[in-house]
Structure 1
Amino acid sequence: MDSSSGSPTQTAVIGIGNDHRRDDGVAWAVLAALARRPLPRGVALLRSDGEPARLIGAWDGARRAIIVDAARSQPARPGRVHRFRMHDALSRSPCGETSSHGFALGDAVELARVLGRLPGELLVYAVEAADTGPGTALSPAVAAAVAPLVARIEQDLAPRGGRGGALRA
């Protein structure tokens, strides 16, 4: 999935997930919604399973990367969206503990830093999941978070992208 129309990728919007594990497909639902909207030139929409080498390859050459992923949290508040800049978050918390995958996003970022393959800006949206078991439908709370998250990412893609903390669905 690439909406860059042949222009160089300035911003890679990367959805990490698996649409056969219910809420783990939230990122791919966000990408599908973004693909139906007019986006600025130089924006590429990419799906990833989160494997670190493929993730680094997805943002390679981009000035900015925006990552969307499902997250686990205790206590869980399904549908709650957290927004943070990855460079800042690495010094504060072990990011991998919240991923719905078996890898640590922080580890992939650290590997990219060592290899000199980090984008200039790395922005992460983590959507708290209710259910990552087998199935294709998002839980109601996570499904309700998709449209507001798409709107927020569109703001980030605008020439004067906004700032913020947590979104509430």
Structure 2
Amino acid sequence: MKERTRIAVVGVGNDYRHDDGVGWAVVGRLRERAAARPLPPGTALATCDGDPGRLISLWEHAELALIVDAAHTHPGSPGRVHRIELDSARLAQPPTTSSHGLGLGEAVELARVLDRLPGRLVVYAVEGADCSLGTGLSHAVAEAVGPLVESVELDIVRHRDAAARG
């Protein structure tokens, strides 16, 4: 029997569109750190291009889903991280689509309609500077990766500790 995913960490984006690859960079760093400091059992690390069906399949049975994605803001402050905890309140529809075609908001709404939301959903949105074709993060976004990895790990520990008490 497959172990149930209790915590899903999903890096959303495209590693070939500069800062849009920040979610993939965070998941990559988490994988590296997990080799020395294992994550709690039932924690899954994944990357996704943002397709709503794939996102839903990655988080649908999780108690906690942590999503890391690039935010496209104009004007923006590249490297600034927004932590958004989504609850049962309906998300406002964004005025434009993301670089993924359909955005995270649409995936959440679809999951809500299908009753496939995780128990708790936390989104880390990182303001980007450059989403043109190419690899590598801008300096400001690359500088945000380390602290963001620590924030995600802290969310995982908090969840684990609350589950142990609970």
Which range, TM-score by smaller chain?
A: 0.7 to 0.9
Q: Structure 2 CA distance, aligned partners of 1:116 and 1:53?
A: 13
Deviation at 1:33, TM superposition (A): 0.5
Bigger Cα Rg: 2
Q: Structure 1 CA distance, aligned partners of 2:14 and 2:7?
A: 22
Deviation at 1:105, TM superposition (A): 1.3
* Amino acid in the other structure paired with 2:69: D
Deviation at 1:15, TM superposition (A): 0.7
Contact 1:14 1:65 in 2 (8 A): yes
Secondary structure of the structure 2 residue equivalent to 1:158: helix
2:21 to 16, 19, 25: 25
Structure 1 unmatched runs, 5+? 1-5, 162-169
Query: How many corresponding residue pairs?
Result: 156
> 1:89-117 CA deviation, whole Å, 9 max, x = no partner?
744x3357474422121111111111110
Name the structure 1 match of 2:155.
Answer: 156
Give the TM-score, by structure 2 length.
0.86
Secondary structure of the structure 2 residue equivalent to 1:32: helix
Name the structure 2 match of 1:138.
Answer: 137
Contact 2:18 2:136 in 1 (8 A): yes
Asked if 1:13 corresponds to 2:4, the answer is no
Structure 2 unmatched runs, 5+? 161-166
Deviation at 1:88, TM superposition (A): 6.2
